[in-house]
Structure 1
Amino acid sequence: MFEDNQKKLYVIVNRQQDPALLLNATAHVAAGIMRKAEDVLFNDYPNAESGLRASLSHYPVVILQAKK
């Protein structure tokens, strides 16, 4: 499934909440955990048109939903 399964973050969210709230909370949780992690690895995805680049974590964040 994933190329590198050494590290993964699982987040379980309540599907009854607003999706924007869940996305915000999940992003903050992931950022906080990554700040404490050792040996973090990010992959760069440059955009030739704009000159900008995105740095995405090499390790996946898996988001699961619960009924409540």
Structure 2
Amino acid sequence: MPLAKYLLHPSPEEEKRKHKKKHLVQSPNSYFMDVKCPGCYKITMVFSHAQTVPTGRKARLTEGCSFRRKQH
């Protein structure tokens, strides 16, 4: 039975679903992002996988907030 997927060049969707240590090149799944509040226009830096009491796990943005992912 032939191998159905190419192991050297996996698709980006496949890499995104893997554990951070199982990627072809190890890298974390979390990231920092700038979030702008629509009311006061203040920019706050937020960690994507913050362990805060209300949300836990991945951070959830409220409606109307704009954000951008920080570059390394």
Q: TM-score, normalised by structure 2?
A: 0.24
The structure richer in helix per residue is 1
The structure richer in strand per residue is 1
